[in-house]
Amino acid sequence: MKRSVNGLIGVILVLISNVSFAGFIEATFDNGNEGFRLSGDATTSFAQFSSSGFIFAVDRALGGNQFFEAPAQFLGDLSGAFNQTLSFDLNFTGSGAILASAANIFTIFSGTDSIQFVDNFPSRGVFRTYEAVLNESQGFRSSEGGLATDAFIQQVLSDVTRIRIRAEFINGVDTVRLDNFRIGVVPEPNGLLVMGLVLFAIARFARRSKKS
């Protein structure tokens, strides 16, 4: 009996090890820039890290826009992020005139397809938390024109090739800071199935123990 118990425990441990319990993927920037790059008219390839626990980019007013680019851990198949929340904190400082009151804050790409989140800019010098639910209720703009449907959002999330966050807000030199970038992801169906099998095995073992 002891041998069979040990065997069952071993099987359960193997099953549990293959289930992802993470409800989100995130970058808190506590120890570095975590691979976030810069694009657009940026003068450096990677975002700079602050020991205060955020990353930042300095825009030199070269005429174009500047963006933070999320690294590989936030790309690929993000189907589990549908109906979940993408969030981050953003602020900027600088003395120039603000470019606009609102514009694209972040864009998620799948090849040439994309969904774009438009909102008001943060207040100068104050971190603002942006939260967007990844479904059509959020009012994402579609690269196909108009508002993105749930079907189109799911299509983009199934193969994310790029996530771009705005890193320029004024007409002049500005410093933009990004913190606490997070995407909610629910477990894949096969993970839920494994979890169900684990619970079934535990319940079956408990019943056998009572009988013996």
Task: Find the CATH number of the domain harbouring 64.
Answer: 2.60.120.430
- Distances from the Cα of 145 to the Cαs of 115, 148, 152, 159, in angstroms? 10, 8, 11, 20
Range of the domain at 102: 23-188
Residue 19 Rama label (left phi>0; alpha psi -120 to 50; beta): beta
- With a pLDDT cut of 70, the percent of the chain lying above it is 76
Whether residue 153 lies inside any domain: the answer is yes
Whether residue 161 lies inside any domain: the answer is yes
Identify the band that residue 100 occupies on the pLDDT scale cut at 50, 70 and 90. Answer: confident
Distance CA 18, CA 10 (A): 13
Whether residue 11 lies inside any domain: the answer is no
- When pLDDT is averaged across residues 120-135 and rounded to a whole number, the result is 95
Whether residue 38 lies inside any domain: the answer is yes
Identify the band that residue 99 occupies on the pLDDT scale cut at 50, 70 and 90. Answer: confident
Whether residue 13 lies inside any domain: the answer is no
pLDDT tens readout for residues 31-78: 999 999 999 988 899 999 999 999 999 988 666 789 999 999 999 999
Please give the pLDDT value at position 197: 55
Whether residue 17 lies inside any domain: the answer is no
Residue with the larger pLDDT of the pair 55 and 206? 55
Please give the pLDDT value at position 172: 84
Whether residue 207 lies inside any domain: the answer is no
pLDDT of residue 2 exceeding 60, the answer is no
Whether residue 203 lies inside any domain: the answer is no
pLDDT tens readout for residues 112-125: 999 999 999 999 99
What residues contact residue 45 under an 8 Å CB cut-off, 6+ apart?
37, 38
| Domain count along the chain | 1
